[in-house]
Structure 1
Amino acid sequence: MEYIHIQGSPKPVSRLMKGSDYFFHHSYDKAAANLDAFLAIGGNSIDTAHIYCGGQSEEVIGRYMQERGNREQIVILTKGAHHDQNGPRVNKEAIRADLSASLERLQTDYVDLYALHRDDPSVPAGEVIEILNEHVKSGAVRAIGVSNWTWQRIQEANEYAEANGLVGFTFSSPNLSLAKANEPFWSGCVSADAETCAWHEERQFPLLSWSSQARGFFTGRFSPEIRDNADLVRVFYSDDNWERFERAKQLAAKKNVSAIQIALAYVLNQPFPTCALIGAQTAEELQSCDAGSLIQLTKEELEWLDLATQKV
């Protein structure tokens, strides 16, 4: 397992991050077994959020850490301030309430990586930094970041932090995958485009990608004719993405791996620090991700996969 460093968190962060949006109390044994297997291959970072599974995701992780006594071995990424039926919630009270609930559910007194789940561009970025710095100062949060913010808003926030002697954002979690999104998967979501990636490369700013394998687009279960998954069709079906899939299969054959492993390697071989959030729920899926995370791709291969060149 490879790791990256995220400023503010003293622990190394495994480049594979275990997704937990299927962690429910009724299937606790499955979640615990999945986490045991993940730690066994060297993984240590877990992605969760205040809204996942109605709070059960965080509660399951909290129970697991208490039973195993391994809180200090684990890097928790959790998120708050997601909008509700009334609209955006990026404000002081919502952040405080969500973070407090997350800490209680996780049975811990700090979060390694805390991200705002959505943005509200009507709130000044500096105001958000001021709010989050209160929680950094209290020790409840080690590193602060964002999910589904544009690079322009992150830069605005960090310029404010630097000018005012405050802690800035040290990671971002948008979607980044070999398959490019036609439109947001969920309202308010952000996918990393070429401009975003160039910004991350220039600053070497860590990116933690959700839907890193495009929600199974590269598994071979889908084709232009198979259209039974409406969300996948809406977000990822395009001529360019089918060409990317064909190229992933060609490169996979040369390297004796699978196309979905090539798709994972695409995320992890970017010229800036990246982690890939994975949804592996079986031993086979986890082994595939583990092997895929070790594949090395050249700059030329990355460009070819992304249709920037015709030859590799």
Structure 2
Amino acid sequence: MKAMHIQGVDKAISRLIMGTGDLRKLEEPERMMLDAYIRAGGNTFDTAHQYRNKEVILGQWLAEKKLREQVVILTKGAHHDDGSPGPRVNPQAIRKDLLESLDRLGTDYVDLYALHRDDPDAAVGPIMEELNEHIQASRIRAIGASNWSFQRIQEANEYAASHGLIGFTFSSPNLSLAKPNEPRWEGCVSADSDTCAWHGRNQLPLLAWSSQAGGFFSGHFTPDNQENLEMVRVYYSADNWERYRRAAKLAADKNVSPIQIALAYVLNQSFPTCAIIGPRNPDELQSSIEAMHIQFTLDELAWLNLEREGAAK
């Protein structure tokens, strides 16, 4: 499996990251998927304090397999709806969530730690100071931001640089070929063209959640099928159906599937990217692995994203 590196982490990071949001228990189907991911060469898992028992399940499985030192754990904290209502992007919430996550995971450190939401009214200084305390205590190897705007990430990194601190070395917003009409969940951030341009200039790694747009390109959805209200609300638009049409055309040309084209779009950006995936069976995992090897020209990327007309070249 292809891998990349993030500053602060001494392990390679799989470009396909296994999401744990759908883990319900540690029984045969779940074990089969986790085992298959490891056999395929994957080594990176995405979880969060807000996912609660998902961290426990992942930690139990890693302990049983004795894999902790071979894998990369990305967990997140300071979500607004976790523990107490309202904005929680502050040193106290960060410390509470991190320590509880470490206990649930059964480890004394996480490789990647991201703030799950942002509070634009919160000063970046105390946040970066708190995160750096945990880096110094070896509880965290690298810090990042999930669902922060690139302007806030830049502000935080400028503060860190001017105060001798370690800044964010990755971000984790939504990035997918289908562009959301509105946030899928409150407080979420999707990478628009300005965000991608900023990542291109700074070469900051982006770990994309909902990288396959909730299955929008799977063939299970059509403009006249309005049953899934969340998909209709977030992804149904004329532009996205045109992106689907183009993905299907390019898929036929390359002898792959549209959903593989959509995943390959995320992995073919001009800056380092990983895609967080949630395969439900080994066939879906294999499909994602195959998509990792699809290459696009710049013209194909632009055509898929409606940035140019005519046929893909």
Scaled to the shorter chain, the TM-score interval is: over 0.9
- What residue is the counterpart of 1:3 in the other structure? 3
Looking at structure 1, the residues matched to 216 and 36 of structure 2 have their Cα atoms a distance apart, in angstroms, of 25
Are residues 1:69 and 2:94 paired? Answer: no
Q: How does 1:82-93 map to 2 (within 5 A)?
A: 82-84=79-81, 86-93=85-92
SS of structure 2 residue aligned to 1:219: coil
Cα contact 2:77–2:114 (8 A) shared by 1: yes
| One-letter amino acid of the counterpart of residue 200, structure 2 | E
Looking at structure 2, the residues matched to 240 and 105 of structure 1 have their Cα atoms a distance apart, in angstroms, of 42
Looking at structure 2, the residues matched to 32 and 80 of structure 1 have their Cα atoms a distance apart, in angstroms, of 25
SS of structure 2 residue aligned to 1:77: strand
- What residue is the counterpart of 1:281 in the other structure? 280
Question: TM-score by structure 2 length?
Answer: 0.97
Cα contact 1:115–1:145 (8 A) shared by 2: yes
SS of structure 1 residue aligned to 2:87: coil
Are residues 1:18 and 2:15 paired? Answer: no
Looking at structure 2, the residues matched to 7 and 30 of structure 1 have their Cα atoms a distance apart, in angstroms, of 34
Q: How does 1:154-233 map to 2 (within 5 A)?
A: 154-233=153-232
**CA offset digits 1:35-77 (Å, max 9, x no partner):** 110011111110000111xx11100111011100011111000
* Structure 2 unaligned residues grouped into runs of 5+: none
Cα contact 1:126–1:156 (8 A) shared by 2: no
- What residue is the counterpart of 2:43 in the other structure? 44
* Structure 1 unaligned residues grouped into runs of 5+: none
Looking at structure 2, the residues matched to 158 and 119 of structure 1 have their Cα atoms a distance apart, in angstroms, of 15
Cα contact 1:171–1:207 (8 A) shared by 2: yes
Q: CA offset at residue 125 of structure 1? A: 1.3
Identity %: 59
Cα contact 2:116–2:145 (8 A) shared by 1: yes
Cα contact 1:46–1:77 (8 A) shared by 2: yes
Looking at structure 1, the residues matched to 164 and 28 of structure 2 have their Cα atoms a distance apart, in angstroms, of 45
- What residue is the counterpart of 2:301 in the other structure? 302
- What residue is the counterpart of 1:270 in the other structure? 269
Looking at structure 2, the residues matched to 49 and 65 of structure 1 have their Cα atoms a distance apart, in angstroms, of 16
Q: How does 1:141-156 map to 2 (within 5 A)?
A: 141-156=140-155
SS of structure 2 residue aligned to 1:51: helix
SS of structure 2 residue aligned to 1:221: coil
SS of structure 1 residue aligned to 2:27: helix
- What residue is the counterpart of 1:254 in the other structure? 253
Instruction: Please give the root-mean-square deviation of Cα atoms over the aligned residues, in Å.
Output: 0.8
Residue number among 47, 53, 61 corresponding to 1:56 in the alignment: 53
Looking at structure 2, the residues matched to 150 and 32 of structure 1 have their Cα atoms a distance apart, in angstroms, of 36
SS of structure 2 residue aligned to 1:39: helix
SS of structure 2 residue aligned to 1:167: coil
Looking at structure 1, the residues matched to 27 and 147 of structure 2 have their Cα atoms a distance apart, in angstroms, of 29
Looking at structure 2, the residues matched to 65 and 210 of structure 1 have their Cα atoms a distance apart, in angstroms, of 22
| One-letter amino acid of the counterpart of residue 229, structure 2 | A
SS of structure 1 residue aligned to 2:186: coil
Structure 1 runs (4+) deviating above 4 angstroms are none
**CA offset digits 1:140-168 (Å, max 9, x no partner):** 00000010000000000000101111000
